[in-house]
Structure 1
């Protein structure tokens, strides 16, 4: 009934349909395979974490026209800029700052509640990185008795080490011990910091090693540090520094031996009166020394030379020393940042050549901001001032004696916190909550105080906005005090020259956060980000576990 041609046609149609179905199925499989093979992580050869000590966000914008194309501008123009980045806790100081950046948590979780704090268990002050269990490596000194043991959770650097079966290297470098020890985490291959005085050497702790590596010994025995024993003059014409106040003013500190805080600062002439190599820390040369050493670490440790991700943590400390000494409106701070920009350029150009542009990832942030000198603000008719803590403590002691018949209720007054003796309160048959509230109300009556909170409030309320939220994130149940004080904005306990930090106010919380390099999507946001978001953002990028105390969230806009 049907011709051979018809059967041939049917066979051909069947072949075409089967072929189309096969092609369709193959495309589905290939599409599925493409989805499965979509990278779960970015694998840079090296992550470089940069913390600039005491960097306000507006240092980016204020000195912008003086920066070159390959330092801060490269990070902003080719990377991602979080313009509304803040610390979400207080105190805003160096130890807690570095711990929070690297743990993705706040002091309420990681336990580093200050640079120093009163330890209720042993009844004495402790330092955030001190550890008598270890010895100094590289020098006969007490300066190396350090470890991260007071930080109670892991860091992003710890998680990288764990994820790579300890094959990814972690090296941390800073002038300050705490600026290296805390970022390095518990498992760092090494943390190094600078011993000033008459030494001018980089040292470490037996927590990490028994002897300094050969490359460190070689660096210490070279002229690398000694060459900075020279006068400090501005790197550009001082008349172009119109973004800062007059060079000679009453708001800046003096090096010992100087009669005015003006350029040039003749560091060789001031050497002996300012503890020799210590004076280099209070100058931009300290940052250059840090850069020199970081570059040697990259070479000596062969960081970023294979497919296993390494991590270099750098903290630039001299910006903090200079800010404390001369203030945030000084020509000294401006020159320090212009010079730091050139040091960053040195780092990035080395990474471009040795690791490969597009093969490394960088973040840059700060450990806190800083306030303008209150004496200067007062002269501009801006509300500001200085706390009279001795008078406040004296008045409080008098009140306690009148109210409770004894001043033994107070064990310690530090870091704007009052620590009470719970045993004495119990023996007097008093309510701890009632005593906390009574003292809080008394302290709030002081003209210096804006707010006062109790430990009972911190434990029994959940704050989500404003100053109470910031104070609660800094409150650690085991380590913090019974009464927590918040001075009025722009009121500080400090000398009348130079700037400081530590408060919950916005001038101390608003800091830069820049991401750049492999896995980073160029752009910017004015949405609020917080310091604990840095570590989980890196963890998401690297595809590794979050630090085990993480409270922050990945900043999704940053990631490709």
Structure 2
């Protein structure tokens, strides 16, 4: 009898462990671009019970994700979340790169080798030099798993899909169709249907009017609103920026949800012998028409309506696959864009930094030392690039010139710190410059990396006519991370986690290898999952 009870207890323990460690049939990665945890808190009372509140009540919630590099943007954030490593390894350091030979800024994923499908843009994941969660799932399943992504923009779509995905779809800025690249070979019939006829956004967009979804008195999260007037925006495809503006309104999330539900209905997700992966990107940033304002009803309404879209998505997954069979992963991107200009008379002690002027003076300084030559190519995204061929032809030491230039630029008003490419390559960096090392890749890095003091304005023009100005801020953005479904018990974890820990945690639950450049362990709360 004693032996029987011992065996029964062992069987029950193993059965319980297997139930807890069941591999999900489907992973849905929900990434909300520019999501702010503080806004979720501020707007909490306006949410329903089955969107944000459901995720917070039923999920394993981490309060904040930390990105280990400066100047986080859409491309670098998505690449980091889905590869489990920083830009120094995955190679995506920002939304754009600069071709100084052609004097032209290019998208970071630009690839003329592949045509656009429903778009004139040319993209591929070629410049992403690490594998992603989806790539490893494809390898493990020998191609049997389906991997798709749906997003407002090409960067988020392609980087969350990876190299081996079945498809990646985004909304084109010019025609409003669901676009992709011929790099991916599969366009499901229901995507074609959405791009044509009565299903197309073009045929419906003129009937869409964005107005407050709640009475004005309920938009009370910010005590800094300047007027009591409601907002009202409409969209006409005859105007150039129609779809561009549309993509920063709550309607983009509704379109994302609409197409995602079609994938769930007709794509067979969760019905295969191997798990599938569906990456969905929502938008929670400022509306394009209000980026010069810090506090608006528009941003609160974006969150209120996003809450409803999350509810619809969770319900659709539960109905088709079952949340018990699905791992939901929700995260933000660790940055927030605005273009706030301060009222006249408000002085915060900063000033204007003119990159073009800095480059011109630096070039004159180097000419005075090393002779008449264009030693500096230009400035892009906080970095100064040298004419390395001229330096090589003159048989000069690149490291010496970088150091001379760094000392010169450090004397400019507003410059907090300057580090050199040679220092980062040689390992001569410390905790203060670790962000520069993590956030850049040695193959495309500038010769000087410049950090400005907070409050200074980067003026990408000249003194007579400043254009494209941006104010430097170094505020941390609270970015929650939530795992829900597939037998996970609800909990709130108050420690900070790294963005590079997300991918190895997901692959651990899937029982596959982490992406090939990832050297992080899964989050400890899911190690025994």
Fold conserved between structures, TM > 0.5: yes
Who is 1:14 aligned against? none
Who is 1:234 aligned against? 212
Who is 1:201 aligned against? 177
Who is 1:338 aligned against? 304
- Deviation for aligned residue 1:537: 0.8
Structure of greater Rg: 1
* Cα pair distance change 1:531/1:464, threshold 3 Å: farther
In the alignment, structure 1 residue 548 sits paired with structure 2 residue 516: yes
In the alignment, structure 1 residue 357 sits paired with structure 2 residue 332: no
- Deviation for aligned residue 1:51: 1.5
- Deviation for aligned residue 1:74: 1.4
State the distance in 2 between where 1:547 and 1:499 align. 38
Who is 2:93 aligned against? 113
Aligned match for 1:87, one of 45, 67, 71:
67
- Deviation for aligned residue 1:92: 0.6
Are the equivalent residues in 1 in contact too, given 2:375–2:387 (CA < 8 A)?
A: yes
Deviation per CA, 1:216-239: give whole Å up to 9, x if none.
122222346243432211111223
Deviation per CA, 1:69-95: give whole Å up to 9, x if none.
111111112112221321111331111
Deviation per CA, 1:492-545: give whole Å up to 9, x if none.
5379999979x89343x5422222111534222232211111000111111110
Aligned match for 1:67, one of 47, 55, 72:
47
In the alignment, structure 1 residue 129 sits paired with structure 2 residue 97: no
- Deviation for aligned residue 1:34: 5.7
How many matched pairs?
519
State the distance in 1 between where 2:26 and 2:343 align. 43
- Deviation for aligned residue 1:491: 3.6
Who is 2:493 aligned against? 525
Q: Identify the range of structure 1 (101-110 vs 329-338) with the bigger mean alpha-carbon deviation.
A: 329-338
Who is 2:354 aligned against? 388
Are the equivalent residues in 1 in contact too, given 2:355–2:459 (CA < 8 A)?
A: no
State the distance in 2 between where 1:365 and 1:184 align. 16
Who is 1:415 aligned against? 381
Who is 2:450 aligned against? 485
Who is 2:463 aligned against? none
- Deviation for aligned residue 1:67: 1.7
Local SS of the residue matching 1:528: strand
Local SS of the residue matching 1:375: coil
Q: Which structure 1 residue ranges, 5 or more long, are not aligned?
A: 1-18, 250-260
State the distance in 2 between where 1:234 and 1:415 align. 36
Are the equivalent residues in 2 in contact too, given 1:373–1:497 (CA < 8 A)?
A: no
Local SS of the residue matching 1:319: coil
* Cα pair distance change 1:118/1:29, threshold 3 Å: farther
State the distance in 2 between where 1:403 and 1:525 align. 57
Aligned match for 1:176, one of 153, 159, 166:
153
- Deviation for aligned residue 1:471: 1.5
- Deviation for aligned residue 1:303: 1.4
Aligned Cα root-mean-square deviation (Å): 3.3
Are the equivalent residues in 1 in contact too, given 2:88–2:441 (CA < 8 A)?
A: yes
Are the equivalent residues in 1 in contact too, given 2:286–2:299 (CA < 8 A)?
A: no
Residues 446-525 of structure 1 aligned to structure 2 (within 5 Å): 446-461=412-427, 465=431, 467-493=432-458, 505-507=474-476, 510-525=478-493
State the distance in 2 between where 1:32 and 1:378 align. 74
State the distance in 2 between where 1:474 and 1:376 align. 29
Aligned match for 2:370, one of 378, 387, 404:
404
State the distance in 2 between where 1:447 and 1:459 align. 27
Local SS of the residue matching 2:150: strand
Are the equivalent residues in 1 in contact too, given 2:356–2:379 (CA < 8 A)?
A: no
Who is 2:25 aligned against? 45
In the alignment, structure 1 residue 266 sits paired with structure 2 residue 241: no
State the distance in 1 between where 2:217 and 2:9 align. 64
Who is 2:35 aligned against? 55
- Deviation for aligned residue 1:326: 4.9
Aligned match for 1:103, one of 74, 78, 83:
83
Compute the TM-score of the two structures, normalised by the length of structure 2.
0.88
- Deviation for aligned residue 1:173: 0.6
In the alignment, structure 1 residue 278 sits paired with structure 2 residue 261: no
State the distance in 2 between where 1:379 and 1:556 align. 51
Who is 1:243 aligned against? 221
State the distance in 1 between where 2:393 and 2:484 align. 58
State the distance in 2 between where 1:246 and 1:30 align. 62
- Deviation for aligned residue 1:489: 2.3
State the distance in 2 between where 1:464 and 1:379 align. 39
Compute the TM-score of the two structures, normalised by the length of structure 1.
0.83
Are the equivalent residues in 2 in contact too, given 1:90–1:504 (CA < 8 A)?
A: no
Local SS of the residue matching 1:277: helix
Deviation per CA, 1:448-505: give whole Å up to 9, x if none.
222111112212337574x42222111212221111111212445379999979x893
Aligned match for 1:142, one of 120, 129, 142:
120
* Cα pair distance change 1:441/1:498, threshold 3 Å: closer
State the distance in 1 between where 2:209 and 2:285 align. 18
- Deviation for aligned residue 1:349: 1.1
Are the equivalent residues in 2 in contact too, given 1:94–1:368 (CA < 8 A)?
A: no
Local SS of the residue matching 1:149: coil
State the distance in 2 between where 1:374 and 1:232 align. 23
Are the equivalent residues in 2 in contact too, given 1:232–1:263 (CA < 8 A)?
A: no
Q: Identify the range of structure 1 (454-463 vs 374-383) with the bigger mean alpha-carbon deviation.
A: 374-383
Q: Identify the range of structure 1 (166-175 vs 423-432) with the bigger mean alpha-carbon deviation.
A: 423-432
Who is 2:189 aligned against? 214
Q: Identify the range of structure 1 (324-333 vs 531-540) with the bigger mean alpha-carbon deviation.
A: 324-333
Q: Identify the range of structure 1 (236-245 vs 486-495) with the bigger mean alpha-carbon deviation.
A: 486-495
State the distance in 2 between where 1:181 and 1:227 align. 26
Are the equivalent residues in 1 in contact too, given 2:193–2:199 (CA < 8 A)?
A: no
